[in-house]
Amino acid sequence: METAETLPLTGERTVPGIRHENYWFRRHEAVYRALAGDCRGATVLEAGVGEGYGAALLGGVADRVIALELDTPTAAHVARRYGGALHVVRADLAALPLPDAAVDVVVTLQVIEHLWDQPGFLRECARVLRPGGRLHCSTPNRLTFSPGNALTDRPLNPFHTYELAATDLAALVHDAGLAVTTLRGLHHGARLAERDARHGGSLVDAQVALAVSGEPWPDRLADDVAQVGVEEFDLHADDVDASLDLVVSAVRPA
């Protein structure tokens, strides 16, 4: 994989173009691609744009993408690398810098778990949506990402504030005044299951163990991670509690 101009890896976000990061990048990209069809021809707000690759993907089909990011160096990177396809705005997600009923779609992927005021953020998402507008929100599934943790437990990931299970996420969206239309989970497909089997049953655990230990990656693990593609993930509504990531879609009532 060729390395493009990227942000440094801090553990807070994933970036494209890095061989050892490819699994996480493809895992996130798979959700963007699944949602792209709903953004076709729309005015889209991405709240928490991160490195910008996902907003740029949506920008290929949307009429306009407004990309919000609080961190100054990250926002500058997004504007520099993807600015032609995006309208980049540095902003705090606690108070979205848009008028009421301004956009057709709000996309916020792998962001809400980083926020302290999750209910307030979702109320802001509902406020800026036009009647009939759609929200798409993804987050790691607490039940599989942090097994045994309760909603009130501080996550092990230092960049996360609260991690959610499916019922937690659906309740927050409902309480924000939005009607949930689908609640799906991202799972490993058959090819990723084969990769899991080659690495003690979990490709994720194998990567995390080496990140903690600092030991060099075996060639086979590095190759398997580098070759993961978006088509190896399945997004569906079955067995959501066993999923890796949760994806809720909701609509602002007319």
User: In a 3-state reduction of DSSP, which class is residue 7?
Assistant: coil
Q: What is the pLDDT of residue 3?
A: 36
163 close to 113: Cβ distance less than 8 angstroms: yes
Q: Where are the beta strands (DSSP E) in the chain?
A: 43-47, 64-69, 87-90, 103-109, 129-140, 179-188, 233-236, 245-251
Q: What is the pLDDT of residues 176-216, one digit of tens each?
A: 999 999 999 999 999 999 999 999 999 999 998 998 898 99
Q: What is the pLDDT of residue 11?
A: 60
Q: What is the pLDDT of residue 157?
A: 87
Q: What is the pLDDT of residue 6?
A: 63
Q: What is the pLDDT of residue 1?
A: 37
Q: What is the pLDDT of residue 2?
A: 35
All structural domains of the chain with their residue ranges:
19-251
Q: What is the pLDDT of residue 27?
A: 97
Task: Write down the pTM of the prediction.
Answer: 0.94
* Residues of the chain predicted below pLDDT 50: 1-4
CATH architecture, range 19-251: 3-Layer(aba) Sandwich (3.40)
Nearest-angstrom CA–CA distance, 162 and 113 = 5
Q: What is the pLDDT of residue 116?
A: 95
Distance of CA 16 to the CA centre of its chain: 14
Nearest-angstrom CA–CA distance, 245 and 50 = 17
User: Is residue 72 exposed (0-12), middle (13-18) or buried (19+ Cβ within 10 Å)?
Assistant: exposed
